[in-house]
Amino acid sequence: MIKSLRMFITMTIFGLSTIIGGLGANQNAEPSTVELVQQYIQLDTSNPPGMEIRGARFFADIFEARGITYEMLESAPGRANIWARLEGGGEPGVLLLHHMDVVPADASRWQYPPFEAKLVDGRVHGRGALDNKSTGIFHLQAFLALHKAGKPLSRDVVFMATSDEEAGGKQGVGWLVEHRPDVFEGIGAVLNEGGYGALREGKLSFGIEVTQKLPLWLKITASGTPGHGAVPREDSAPRRLVRALAKLEQIPFQRRAVPAASDYLRRIAKDAPEPWNKRLLVPDKLAASQAMMAELQAYDHRLYALLINTCALTRLKGSSKINVVPPQASAEVDCRLLPDEDPDKILAIVSNALIEEGISVEATLSFGAGSSSTDNFLYQALEKVLTSRYPETPILPKLNVGFTDSHFFREQGIAAYGFSPLIMTKSETGGVHGDNESISLENLQLGTELTLEILRELVYR
C-alpha cells in the first residue's frame, strides 16, 4: 500500500508541470486539462433548466479546430447531445460517456463562486468539478490524443456528452436510445461514471461500478380545505402532508446484503479499523442488526446505503402566501432501492403506510438497474491498468448507491461500467451534489494519465 501511494506521489511531482503547463502559455499551445476543466465548469449547465447546448458548443469548437467529424442534436430547445467517433478495426467499440448537466448550486453557501472555476490552493473549485465535468475532459483529452497519434485502432472509440442525467436522462441518453439507436451499433462497452479510488483510513481501493440501486422517485400530495392562515383547520392540506411524512419516516425497510454489496464489503474489510474489519466480513449479520446498522450509518453512510432501501425527502411545496392555507401541499421523495427490489412492491408499501383521506402517492421516476459482467474487455482493461500502477491495491466490482445513465445501455444488452480515475477521501466526495465541490490538481493529472492508459490498452493490441 505504501508503495502504491509513493508511486502516486512521485507521479504527481513529475506530472503537475504538464497539467498546469498551459496556464499562461502562448495561445497556440494545446490547452491543459486544468484550463479545459475551468472553461467547462464556467458554462452554467444547471439542471433545471439544463442548457447543455453551452457544453455541446464547447466540444464542437474543439472538434472543428482539429477537423474531427461530430454530430450534435437537441432533444428539446437547449438540451443538446454531442458525439464524435474515431473509426477502428472490427473489435467491439467502446463509448466514452459523461453528462454535461450539473445540479444547481446556491452561491451564498459556497466559499468560491460555483461557476467561476477558481484555482486556489491546488484545487479547481466549482459545480461539476467531480460530477461529471472533469471526467468529460479526461475522456476528451484521451480521445484527442488517439486522433492526433493517427495510429490504427483495433476498435471504434466514441466520445459522447449528453443532457439531463441529473433528472433521469430522458432528454439525453434515453432520447438517443429511442431516436438514434444507430449511434450505439457495434458498441461493446460503455465507460461512464460511478466508481473511483476510495481512500479510507489511509487505505486505497478502487471500485468499478457494475450495478446500481434503483431510483423510485415519489410525489406525495395532500388535499384539504383552503382558507385563511389565521383560522387553521385540522383537515388542511399542509397538516395532512406533515402527518403522512411522519409515517414515511417510520417505515421499517428491510435490511439485507445483496451479492454485489456482500462481495464489496468483505473485500474492503481488512483495511477497515476496529470493529468494522470484523463486522464487514459478515454483511448478512451486520444487516440483520439494527444497532450495528445505526453505528454503520454514523461511521460511513455510503456503506450503510448498500444494505437497505432508503427514502430521502428532498422537496416541499405549499402555499405561495404565508397567510393562505393552500388547497394542496406536496412533497417529493427520492427513494433508492436495492438492485433486486421490486419497485411496485415498495410503492405499495409506502402507499399503504401513508393511506389517509386526501393523500395520494405517485411514482414519477422508476426503472431497473441491470448489471454488467466482469467478463468484458473494458472491465478487464480497467483492472489491468489499475493493477499495473497499483499492484497492492484491491480492484473491486461495486454496487453504486446512486444511479447513472448506465441502465439505458444495460437494458439494451450493452455492458456499462462506472469508473472515474480519481482518488478521493470521504470529505472530498461530500462535494458531489453538495457545497464547495472541487478537484485537486493531483486528481486532474491522475485522471488524464489513467484515462489515456486505459484507452491505449483498449485500442492498441
Over residues 79-100, the pLDDT tens digits come to: 999 999 999 999 999 999 999 9
Task: Give the E-state strand segments of 345-445 in sequence order.
Answer: 359-366, 395-400, 415-418, 423-424, 438-440
At residue 236 the predicted structure's pLDDT band, cuts being 50, 70 and 90, is very high
Instruction: Give buried/exposed letters for 385-398 (b at 16+ CB in 10 A, else e).
Output: bbeebbeebbbbbb
> DSSP 3-state helix, strand, coil percentages of the chain (rounded to 5)?
40, 25, 35
Q: Domain end: 336, 366, 396, which one?
A: 366
At residue 457 the predicted structure's pLDDT band, cuts being 50, 70 and 90, is very high
Same domain, 158 and 65: yes
- What amino acid is encoded at 446 in this protein? L
pLDDT of residue 13: 36
Instruction: Write the CA distances from 79 to 71, 167, 448, integer angstroms.
Output: 14, 12, 27
- What's the average model confidence in pLDDT over 295-312? 96
pLDDT at residue 158 tops 80: yes
Q: How far apart are CA 201 and CA 458, in angstroms?
A: 33
Same domain, 227 and 250: yes
Q: How far apart are CA 323 and CA 315, in angstroms?
A: 21
Q: Domain end: 326, 346, 366, which one?
A: 366
Q: In 3-state terms, what secondary structure has residue 309? A: coil
Name residues whose C-beta falls within 8 Å of residue 29's C-beta, 6 or more positions apart in sequence. Answer: 21, 22
With cell 472491465, the residue in question is 379
Q: Domain end: 366, 389, 406, which one?
A: 366
Same domain, 62 and 177: yes
Count of structural domains within the chain: 2
Adjacent-strand bridge partners of 79: 76
Strand 155-162, strand 438-440: pairing: unpaired
Cell, residue 339: 438492485
Same domain, 150 and 251: no
Cell, residue 89: 478495426
Q: Which helix (H) or strand (E) holds 317?
A: strand 310-317
Identify whether the C-beta of residue 273 lies closer than 8 Å to the C-beta of residue 264.
no
Same domain, 330 and 428: no
Question: Which tops the pLDDT comparison, 449 or 25?
Answer: 449
- What amino acid is encoded at 300 in this protein? D
Same domain, 150 and 231: no
DSSP codes, 120-147: ETTEEESTTTTTTHHHHHHHHHHHHHHH
Cell, residue 344: 411496485
Same domain, 220 and 333: yes
Same domain, 166 and 96: yes
Q: How far apart are CA 227 and CA 29, in angstroms?
A: 66
Identify whether the C-beta of residue 20 lies closer than 8 Å to the C-beta of residue 32.
yes
Over residues 360-407, the pLDDT tens digits come to: 999 999 998 789 999 999 999 999 999 999 999 999 999 999 999 999
Q: How far apart are CA 370 and CA 449, in angstroms?
A: 30
Q: Which helix (H) or strand (E) holds 454?
A: helix 441-459
Same domain, 319 and 240: yes
Q: How far apart are CA 218 and CA 347, in angstroms?
A: 8
At residue 139 the predicted structure's pLDDT band, cuts being 50, 70 and 90, is very high
Same domain, 60 and 39: yes
Cα 339–Cα 345–Cα 349 angle in degrees, nearest 5: 120
Distance of CA 133 to the CA centre of its chain: 11
Q: How far apart are CA 420 and CA 136, in angstroms?
A: 10
Over residues 315-343, the pLDDT tens digits come to: 999 999 999 999 999 999 999 999 999 99
**Could you tell me the CATH number of the domain that includes residue 100?**
3.40.630.10
Cell, residue 126: 466549482
Same domain, 158 and 307: no
The range of the structural domain enclosing residue 112 comes to 2-211+369-459
Identify whether the C-beta of residue 278 lies closer than 8 Å to the C-beta of residue 293.
no
Per the prediction, the chain carries an average pLDDT of: 93
**Could you tell me the CATH number of the domain that includes residue 311?**
3.30.70.360
Q: How far apart are CA 229 and CA 235, in angstroms?
A: 13
Which pTM does this prediction carry? 0.90
At residue 28 the predicted structure's pLDDT band, cuts being 50, 70 and 90, is low
Same domain, 378 and 448: yes
pLDDT of residue 2: 39
Percent of the chain with pLDDT over 70: 94
Cell, residue 337: 432501492
